[in-house]
Amino acid sequence: GEVGKGYKVSIETLNEGRIGIAAQMIGIAQGAYEAALAYTNEREQFGSSLDKFQAVQFQLAEMAVEIEAARLLTYNAARLKDAGISFLKEAAIAKLYTSRVAEKVSSKAIELFGGYGYVKDYPVEKFWRDSKIGSIYEGTSNMQLQTIAKLITSGK
Residues designated as active site: 138
Decide the pairing of beta strands 44-45 and 48-49. antiparallel
Count the residues in the chain: 156
Q: Give the DSSP letter string of 49-110.
A: EGGGSHHHHHHHHHHHHHHHHHHHHHHHHHHHHHTT---HHHHHHHHHHHHHHHHHHHHHHH
